[in-house]
Amino acid sequence: MGVSATRAATQPRFIQHKKEAFWFYMFLSIVYDHVIKGFGYWTEDMRDEALEPLELNDHDLLVVDVGGGTGFTTLGVVKHVDAKNVTILDQSPHQLAKAKQKEALKECRIIEGDAEDLPFPTDYADRYVSAGSIEYWPDPQRGINEAYRVLKLGGKACIIGPVHPTFWLSRFFADMWMLFPEEEEYLEWFERAGFKDVKLKRIGPKWYRGVRRHGLIIGCAVTGVKPAIGDSPLQLGPKVEDVKKPLNAFVFLARFILGAIASSYYVLLPIYMWLKDQIVPKGMPI
Check residue 13 and report its DSSP letter.
-
Alpha-helix residue ranges (DSSP H) falling in the chain: 3-10, 18-28, 32-38, 44-51, 72-77, 93-100, 140-150, 168-177, 183-193, 249-279
Which pairing describes strands 109-112 and 125-131: parallel, antiparallel, or unpaired? unpaired
Query: How far is residue 237 from each of residues 146, 150, 234, measured CA to CA in Å?
Result: 14, 19, 10
Pick the CATH number of 3-229+253-279 from 2.40.170.20, 3.40.50.300, 3.50.30.10, 3.40.50.150: 3.40.50.150
pLDDT for the residue numbered 230: 97
Query: How far is residue 38 from each of residues 102, 181, 203, 264, 271, measured CA to CA in Å?
Result: 19, 24, 17, 15, 10
Lowest-pLDDT choice from 20-34, 166-180, 241-255: 20-34
pLDDT for the residue numbered 260: 77
Residues 183-220: pLDDT tens digits? 999 999 999 999 999 999 999 888 888 888 998 889 99
Q: How many residues are present in the chain?
A: 286
Is the separation of the CB atoms in 199 and 181 below 8 Å? Answer: no
Dihedral angle sign, alpha carbons of residues 21, 250, 238, 193:
positive
Mean pLDDT over 85-112 rounds to 94
Buried-state track 164-194, b at ≥16 Cβ within 10 A, e below 16:
bbeeeebbebbbbbbbbbeeebbbbbbebbb
Name all contacts of 226-229 with Cβ < 8 Å and 24+ positions apart: 226/148, 226/151, 226/152, 226/153, 226/154, 226/155, 226/156, 226/157, 226/194, 226/195, 226/196, 227/153, 227/154, 227/194, 227/195, 227/196, 228/153, 228/194, 229/122, 229/123, 229/152, 229/153
Residues 240-254: pLDDT tens digits? 665 566 666 777 777
Is the separation of the CB atoms in 179 and 134 below 8 Å? Answer: yes
The domains of the chain are located at 3-229+253-279
Decide which of 285 and 101 is more confident: 101
